[in-house]
Amino acid sequence: MTSTFLGMPATAPRGVGHLRGDQPFPAAARRSLADPQLRRNLRHATTTIRAKSAAVIAEAPDWQQLRDAGAAIKADVMSRLPELLEQLEAAVTRAGGTVHWAADAVEANRIVTELVAGTGSDRVIKVKSMATQEIGLNEALEAAGITPVETDLAELIVQLGDDRPSHILVPAIHRNRAEIREIFLRAMPGVDPALTDDPAALAAAARRYLRQTFLHTPVAISGANFAVAETGTLAVVESEGNGRMCLTLPDTLITVMGIEKVVPTWRDLEVFLQLLPRASTGERMNPYTSMWTGVTPGDGPQQVHLVLLDNGRSAVLADEVGRQVLHCIRCSACLNVCPVYERTGGHAYGSVYPGPIGAVLSPQLTGVADNASLPYASSLCGACFDACPVMINIPELLVHLRAEHVTDRRRPTAESIAMAAAAYTMDHPALYAAAQRAARLGKVVGRRGRGLPPPLSGWTVSRDLPQPPPQTFREWWAEL
């Protein structure tokens, strides 16, 4: 069903999906920082991926030209997104697929649940997909009596551990192999009780369990890394081959894709298929790149559906500065170089999108008020901008969103109240002179070194309160 909305595009609705955390970033980060095992796991994983990625990027003499091309293609896509999406819809339909338009998470969950229920299956296999995590599809399926089984190894670890993903590419980055063994022993059906924490043994246990599931489940749900408008081709890149199994074995394949993932031509893929593996996993090419165009009679899924998801993206597109976040190809390079992410991990960001990209994507999808602490979850060091293969200026976006937050008059903050009070005081000379005298008095009565009182105390937690001079300019002038 196609829905048409007039007026300003809506942000992602509340109460569904995983774009909002339970607590603001500083409180959640404090909890993560107190976990030394988590910090060790993160440091080891991000350092390893960073080094691998840097080595293969150094081998590519045209890396900067590829980045320029990737950024230019994405800017072109955003400038004519409606036209490209209609072209994609026509091409997928021509090839025997069915396209569904979902304005938000609620609509997307309803569409997918009805499609699965229509097949009569009470179980689906899933390829790792950020879009389905964003909308909370697993919860919606479970509520309808349908069991979703994640088939990506890291996603499976997260699902069996009743946990949340903490990295875009390596969702179980916060777990070490001893913890994974414990999860498998506790929650994986039919696991050998003598299982060790040897990585090969853990992978073999997951493979045994998943193979049976692949062979006996008639419906699969995937995301898509790219969709080619000119041919209606969808593409998924992955490292384990589980995606290939999901995309070819079942009778019905349902793909949920954010509307920003479309590219104009097949040729544009060549740029992204070079950028993505080097920036993400530090490989020269993806181990498995699966592409499919509608239905091929007698070969692969015979029912192919594409759900085009908005869920706040049109609202992001309406912001001339903010829309560059839609260029993201989810490589996770910005996470791996971020000093804040490396210390706090992904859960502190609350949203399914962690790290620098999460700090600018989630507040835009939900509206800044609902994720107000995230644009401040950065030192603005710029490492994310340097690492991004499509050159998204994340520091610029962070500052843009901070400005939007503090100027949001509907929700005054301590900072905006303080600034308004300062502006009023400076506008009234007598009041300003009195404030200067009061500041000196504050120094005399011993506030030196103790910071500001609440509610402004947060400002001086990590800053020294400037000391007022012994004599003001006005007093000095009057003495002349």
Residue 157 touches ligand SF4, criterion: CB under 6 A: no
**What are 466's two structure tokens?**
């400037």
Question: Which of 328, 374, 383, 398 touches ligand SF4 (CB under 6 A)?
Answer: 328
- For the bound state, the minimum distance from the C-beta of residue 281 to ligand SF4, rounded and expressed in Å, comes to 12
- For the bound state, the minimum distance from the C-beta of residue 73 to ligand SF4, rounded and expressed in Å, comes to 13
CB closer to ligand SF4 out of 107 and 342 = 342
CB closer to ligand SF4 out of 271 and 390 = 390
Alpha carbon 355 to chain centroid, angstroms: 7
- For the bound state, the minimum distance from the C-beta of residue 260 to ligand SF4, rounded and expressed in Å, comes to 11
CB closer to ligand SF4 out of 181 and 400 = 400
Residue 105 touches ligand SF4, criterion: CB under 6 A: no
CB closer to ligand SF4 out of 66 and 329 = 329
Which of these segments, 91-99, 251-259, 332-340, 462-470, binds ligand SF4 (CB under 6 A)?
Answer: 332-340
- Scan residues 387-426 and list those touching ligand SF4 (CB under 6 A): 387-390, 392
Which of these segments, 117-125, 155-163, 230-238, 330-338, binds ligand SF4 (CB under 6 A)?
Answer: 330-338
**What are 399's two structure tokens?**
């500052």
Residue 160 touches ligand SF4, criterion: CB under 6 A: no
CB closer to ligand SF4 out of 139 and 396 = 396
**What are 116's two structure tokens?**
């699965």
- Scan residues 364-393 and list those touching ligand SF4 (CB under 6 A): 387-390, 392
- For the bound state, the minimum distance from the C-beta of residue 30 to ligand SF4, rounded and expressed in Å, comes to 25
- Scan residues 333-352 and list those touching ligand SF4 (CB under 6 A): 333-334
Residue 357 touches ligand SF4, criterion: CB under 6 A: yes
- For the bound state, the minimum distance from the C-beta of residue 459 to ligand SF4, rounded and expressed in Å, comes to 30
User: Mutual orientation of helices 153-160 and 199-215 as an angle, nearest 10°?
Assistant: 90
- For the bound state, the minimum distance from the C-beta of residue 357 to ligand SF4, rounded and expressed in Å, comes to 4
Residue 332 touches ligand SF4, criterion: CB under 6 A: yes
CB closer to ligand SF4 out of 250 and 389 = 389
- For the bound state, the minimum distance from the C-beta of residue 377 to ligand SF4, rounded and expressed in Å, comes to 14
Half-sphere exposure of 115 (CA within 13 A, CB side): 27
- For the bound state, the minimum distance from the C-beta of residue 278 to ligand SF4, rounded and expressed in Å, comes to 11
The span from the CA of 419 to the CA of 406, in Å, is 10
CB closer to ligand SF4 out of 67 and 100 = 67
Question: Which of 49, 172, 235, 331 touches ligand SF4 (CB under 6 A)?
Answer: 331
The span from the CA of 47 to the CA of 233, in Å, is 35
CB contact at 8 A, 443 and 466:
no
- For the bound state, the minimum distance from the C-beta of residue 7 to ligand SF4, rounded and expressed in Å, comes to 30
- For the bound state, the minimum distance from the C-beta of residue 163 to ligand SF4, rounded and expressed in Å, comes to 21
Residue 73 touches ligand SF4, criterion: CB under 6 A: no
Q: Residues binding ligand SF4: what is the number (CB under 6 A)? A: 13
CB closer to ligand SF4 out of 89 and 152 = 152
Question: Which of 20, 31, 50, 330 touches ligand SF4 (CB under 6 A)?
Answer: 330
CB closer to ligand SF4 out of 81 and 392 = 392
SS in 3 state form for the chain? Answer: CCCCCCCCCCCCCCCCCCCCCCCCHHHHHHHHHCCHHHHHHHHHHHHHHHHHHHHHHHCCCCHHHHHHHHHHHHHHHHHCHHHHHHHHHHHHHHCCCEEEEECCHHHHHHHHHHHHHHHCCCEEEECCCHHHHHCCHHHHHHHCCCEEEECCHHHHHHHHCCCCCCCCCCCCCCCCHHHHHHHHHHHCCCCCCCCCCCHHHHHHHHHHHHHHHHHCCCEEEECCCEEECCCCEEEEEECCCHHHHHHHCCCEEEEEEEHHHEECCHHHHHHHHHHHHHHHCCCCCCCEEEEEECCECCECCCEEEEEEECCCHHHHHCCCCHHHHHHCCCCCHHHHHCHHHHHHCCHHHCCCCCHHHHHHHHHHHHCHHHHCCHHHCCCCCCHHHHHCCCCCCHHHHHHHHHHHHHCCCCCCCHHHHHHHHHHHHHCCHHHHHHHHHHHHHHHHCCCCCCCCCCCCHHHHCCCCCCCCCCCCHHHHHHHC
Which of these segments, 55-63, 262-270, 327-335, 439-447, binds ligand SF4 (CB under 6 A)?
Answer: 327-335
Q: Site residues (CB under 6 A) for ligand SF4?
A: 328-334, 357, 387-390, 392
